[in-house]
């Protein structure tokens, strides 16, 4: 009988294992497999321990101690994004649900039509070929393609009108860049900004003027373009290579006037911008370009309000480049860029995950709010919101205490504390989103794409009429970023940052304050850095001269730290100040939380502040968790930079000493903390306990 009982128990265990296995492998199921708090904490402990190199001296290089065994090719950030993308793809594959808004249904229909579209190499891709043929004929022709509505020896090619129409109908950013953003002279309205356009060449390559045209990096792009021309247009090897060379050379000339390799951020531009604002006719005369024709073609009507010129060097270079090329060369460049933005990638194959990833990227760029709604509907919870609100309040209290430092004059301190009291935390809200005015067909991706592109661009133009502008780059629920909004006095955050396995309240408050807490605190500190507190925008230059002088004197300490560890880099200095402030504020907020627990004798909760199997105190665990959110693959963190040295992830001073920005963003803030040195018993004068410590907040 005992043997029968054992056999029955074994069968039951096997059945349970099969059920759990199915639940884990079924991509259509979103329910998280239930785990007890002890199981979750044990898993987190094992994951943290695997990353650590306990043989390293934490007082010499804490980054190596915390991340020395990080052997995966991915970063914590890339792993999080991949998990989110998998969730988003499963959501989009689902049939429409009753709770889905009309916009969410449109996103699902568009994604599914994209996935179902025949591959470029397929015999069934006639739909794509017909679409591209009509597209080329309707938009000025493609000189390199016979029968594409291009007249030989044509001299009346109206590139401003054609590229403007391409923007209006297809949201394309060719030759001229254009943004709708806050009018920084009056933030209660939006304005047009003429910017650098997107480029075929990667930003870091286009803005790296030290590289020669015959550099291998350019040849690789040239070969890709030639391959595309052979596949799309059935061109021969000689013709495709010649045309690819012409296209890349044309863009290389345009790049000669480009400097803005950093992605556009409308909030930052409010502070560091100093742009000329004139009407289009005046700017057209200055730069010798018909900017009026371009903008009116893009908008569908004339624009009389002044616009901002953000890239004068580029527009001078654009004028010179256009003069140096004939109409056919300009049209070939424009039409190649346009076709390249519409077609599937070269390695497209319907049967692989590449197509799904490509289609997800399309939905992210065109229908981000729909994706945000789907993600929030699945993963947002009131419990997580309440935890976030409590955490944010504790962080604000900690920063408020830091603003009592004696280096701030009383008037500056009062203004800063008032500003801090107004800051709020914001999570995306998807109450009754408006659908697009489109009619989508399940089996006609190209028609769907054309409709959505035109409608999205129209919505962008409508932002010109907003009386109280909303941010152009809303933080959607599925994103993994936070953004300080100076106009709204708010820090926007995504729901994705509140999802396991990166975030789970069962890990304990030490881990939460060390990870999400430091990220939020860095954004809070951004509101009080030199840029956001000394420029006469919303704050009306509220820094008193003595306070400003003391801030800059304290900043010099961080600048010296960067100079000695890496090389002089102002961006790195500003980020080190922000990282250090975020760490200090989050750690002090955590200590305050601990003090609230002790008087209540909440010993059960306090015992949850360490993790099983990790022989570290709760405060030591805080520092390890802080470091591990910045772990990088070893080959990435030890490679030497090439060309520009502004890319902080690649910023390296010495390969022998393994000095790089990744290590500095961990070791730098920690080495400035007395509490860290005390926790790990670092001798005075050691690398992680220097005699001179930098501090602002």
Can you spell out the DSSP letters for 665-680? HHHHHHHT-HHHHHHT
Task: Compute the distance between CA of residue 379 and CA of residue 642 in angstroms, rounded to an integer.
Answer: 41
Cis peptide leading into 411, omega within 30 of 0?
Answer: no
Q: CATH no. for residue 200?
A: 1.10.1380.10
Task: Compute the distance between CA of residue 137 and CA of residue 148 in angstroms, rounded to an integer.
Answer: 5
Domain match, 412 and 282 both? no
Task: Compute the distance between CA of residue 552 and CA of residue 355 in angstroms, rounded to an integer.
Answer: 51
Provide the pLDDT for residue 397: 97
Structure confidence by residue, pLDDT tens digits, 350-404? 667 889 999 999 999 999 999 999 999 999 999 999 999 999 999 999 999 999 9
How many residues in the chain? 697
Q: Mean pLDDT throughout 103-116? A: 95
In a domain, 375, yes or no: no
In a domain, 496, yes or no: no
Q: Using 50, 70 and 90 to split pLDDT, how confident is the model at 545? A: confident
Task: Compute the distance between CA of residue 93 and CA of residue 27 in angstroms, rounded to an integer.
Answer: 10
Domain match, 675 and 578 both? yes
Q: Using 50, 70 and 90 to split pLDDT, how confident is the model at 421? A: very high
pLDDT at 142 over 70: yes
Domain match, 337 and 418 both? no
CB distance 193 to 312 below 8 Å = no
Domain match, 643 and 510 both? yes
List, in order, residues 6 or more apart from 326 with CB less than 8 Å away: none
In a domain, 333, yes or no: yes
> What token pair was written down for 38?
């002890």
In a domain, 436, yes or no: no
CB distance 480 to 494 below 8 Å = yes
Give the residues across from 483 on adjacent strands.
492
pLDDT at 10 over 60: no
Task: Compute the distance between CA of residue 430 and CA of residue 418 in angstroms, rounded to an integer.
Answer: 30
In a domain, 342, yes or no: yes
Structure confidence by residue, pLDDT tens digits, 559-608? 999 988 888 888 899 999 999 999 999 999 999 999 887 666 666 777 88
Domain match, 277 and 407 both? no
Domain match, 201 and 293 both? yes
Domain match, 408 and 280 both? no
Domain match, 243 and 392 both? no
Provide the pLDDT for residue 149: 75
- To 5 degrees, how large is the angle CA 635–CA 641–CA 647? 100
| Counts for the chain of helices (H) and strands (E), in that order | 30, 9
Structure confidence by residue, pLDDT tens digits, 52-67? 999 999 999 999 999 9
- Whose tokens are 């070893």? That residue is 634
In a domain, 364, yes or no: no
Task: Compute the distance between CA of residue 215 and CA of residue 179 in angstroms, rounded to an integer.
Answer: 32
Domain range enclosing 575: 388-422+505-697
Least confident of 97-101, 408-412, 535-539: 535-539
Write out the E strands in 298-398. Answer: 307-309
- Reduce the DSSP state of residue 195 to 3 states and report it: strand
Share of the chain above pLDDT 70, in %: 87
Q: Could you tell me the pTM of the whole model?
A: 0.87
- Whose tokens are 């049209």? That residue is 331
> What token pair was written down for 500?
């396991």
Q: Mean pLDDT throughout 406-433? A: 91
Domain match, 305 and 407 both? no
Task: Compute the distance between CA of residue 513 and CA of residue 589 in angstroms, rounded to an integer.
Answer: 8
pLDDT at 677 over 70: yes
Domain match, 175 and 241 both? yes
- Reduce the DSSP state of residue 483 to 3 states and report it: strand
**How many domains, in total, are found in the chain?**
3
* The dihedral formed by the CA atoms of 588, 594, 598 and 599, expressed in degrees to the nearest 10: 60
Comparing CA positions, the residue from 365, 335, 303 lying closest to residue 175 is 335
Provide the pLDDT for residue 7: 44
In a domain, 528, yes or no: yes
Task: Compute the distance between CA of residue 481 and CA of residue 479 in angstroms, rounded to an integer.
Answer: 6
Strands 276-278 and 307-309: antiparallel
Domain match, 343 and 407 both? no
CB distance 519 to 482 below 8 Å = yes
Provide the pLDDT for residue 71: 84
Strands 190-195 and 307-309: parallel
Give the residues across from 177 on adjacent strands.
195
> What token pair was written down for 506?
């069962």
Q: CATH no. for residue 531?
A: 3.40.390.10
Task: Compute the distance between CA of residue 13 and CA of residue 16 in angstroms, rounded to an integer.
Answer: 5
Structure confidence by residue, pLDDT tens digits, 634-658? 754 444 333 333 344 444 444 445 6
Provide the pLDDT for residue 28: 37
Question: What is the chain's mean pLDDT, rounded?
Answer: 86
pLDDT at 539 over 90: no
List, in order, residues 6 or more apart from 463 with CB less than 8 Å away: 180, 190, 469, 472
CB distance 97 to 385 below 8 Å = no
Domain match, 284 and 403 both? no
Provide the pLDDT for residue 601: 61
In a domain, 98, yes or no: no
Least confident of 84-93, 213-222, 435-444: 213-222
Q: Alpha helix locations (H) across 200-325?
A: 203-206, 216-233, 237-255, 266-272, 280-287, 291-299, 312-323
Comparing CA positions, the residue from 408, 389, 409 lying closest to residue 397 is 389
């Amino acid at each position: 009988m005992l043997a029968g009982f054992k056999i029955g128990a074994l069968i039951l265990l096997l059945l349970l294992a099969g059920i759990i296995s199915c639940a884990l492998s079924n991509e259509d199921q979103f329910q998280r497999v239930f785990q007890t708090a002890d199981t979750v904490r044990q898993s987190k402990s094992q994951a943290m321990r695997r990353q650590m190199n306990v043989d390293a001296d934490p007082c010499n290089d804490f980054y190596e101690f915390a991340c020395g065994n990080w052997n995966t090719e991915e970063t914590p950030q890339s792993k999080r994004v991949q998990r989110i993308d998998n969730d988003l793809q499963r959501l989009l594959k689902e049939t429409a649900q009753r709770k889905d808004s009309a916009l969410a249904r449109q996103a699902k229909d568009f994604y599914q039509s994209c996935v179902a579209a025949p591959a470029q190499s397929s015999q069934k891709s006639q739909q794509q070929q017909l679409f591209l043929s009509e597209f080329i004929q309707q938009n000025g022709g493609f000189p390199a393609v016979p029968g594409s509505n291009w007249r030989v020896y044509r001299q009346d090619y109206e590139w401003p009108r054609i590229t403007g129409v391409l923007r209006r109908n297809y949201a394309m950013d060719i030759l001229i860049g254009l943004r709708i953003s806050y009018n920084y002279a009056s933030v209660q309205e939006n304005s047009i900004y003429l910017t650098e356009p997107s480029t075929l060449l990667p930003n870091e390559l286009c803005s790296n003027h030290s590289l020669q045209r015959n550099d291998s990096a350019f040849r690789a792009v040239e070969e890709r373009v030639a391959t595309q021309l052979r596949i799309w247009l059935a061109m021969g090897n000689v013709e495709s290579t010649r045309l690819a060379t012409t296209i890349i050379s044309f863009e290389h000339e345009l790049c000669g006037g480009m400097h803005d390799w950093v992605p556009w951020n409308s909030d930052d531009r409010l502070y560091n911008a100093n742009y000329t604002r004139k009407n289009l006719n005046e700017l057209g005369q200055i730069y010798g370009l018909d900017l009026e024709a371009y903008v009116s073609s893009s908008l569908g009507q004339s624009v009389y309000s002044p616009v901002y010129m953000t890239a004068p060097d580029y527009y001078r270079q654009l004028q010179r480049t256009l003069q140096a090329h004939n109409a056919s060369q300009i049209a070939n460049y424009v039409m190649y860029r346009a076709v390249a933005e519409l077609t599937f990638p070269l390695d497209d194959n319907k049967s692989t995950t590449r197509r799904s990833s490509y289609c997800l990227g399309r939905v992210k760029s065109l229908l981000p709010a729909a994706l945000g709604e789907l993600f929030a509907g699945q993963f947002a919870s009131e419990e997580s919101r309440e935890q976030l609100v409590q955490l944010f309040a504790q962080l604000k209290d900690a920063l408020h205490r830091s603003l009592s430092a004696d280096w701030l004059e009383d008037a500056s301190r009062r203004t800063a504390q008032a500003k801090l009291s107004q800051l709020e935390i914001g999570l995306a809200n998807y109450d009754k989103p408006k659908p697009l005015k489109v009619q989508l067909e399940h089996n006609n991706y190209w028609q769907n794409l054309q409709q959505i592109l035109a409608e999205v661009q129209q919505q962008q133009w409508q932002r010109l009429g907003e009386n109280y502008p909303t941010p152009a780059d809303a933080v959607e629920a599925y994103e993994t970023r936070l953004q300080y909004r100076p106009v709204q006095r708010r820090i926007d955050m995504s729901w994705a940052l509140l999802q396991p396995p990166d975030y789970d309240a069962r890990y304990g408050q030490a881990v939460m304050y060390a990870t999400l807490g430091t990220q939020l605190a860095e954004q809070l500190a951004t509101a009080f850095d030199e840029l956001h507190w000394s420029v006469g925008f919303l704050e009306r230059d509220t820094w008193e001269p003595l306070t400003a002088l003391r801030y800059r004197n304290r900043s010099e300490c961080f600048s010296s730290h960067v100079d000695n560890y890496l090389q002089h880099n102002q961006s790195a200095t500003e980020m080190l100040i922000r990282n250090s402030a975020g760490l200090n504020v989050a750690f002090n907020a955590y200590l305050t939380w601990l003090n609230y627990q002790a008087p209540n004798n909440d010993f059960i909760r306090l015992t949850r502040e360490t993790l099983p199997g990790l022989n570290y105190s709760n405060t030591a665990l805080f520092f390890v968790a802080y470091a591990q959110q910045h772990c990088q693959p070893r080959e990435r963190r030890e490679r030497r930079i090439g060309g520009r040295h502004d890319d902080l992830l690649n910023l390296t001073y010495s390969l022998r000493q393994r000095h790089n920005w990744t290590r500095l963003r961990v070791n730098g803030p920690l080495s400035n903390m007395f509490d860290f040195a005390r926790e790990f018993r670092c001798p005075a004068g050691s690398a992680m306990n220097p005699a001179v410590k930098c501090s602002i907040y």
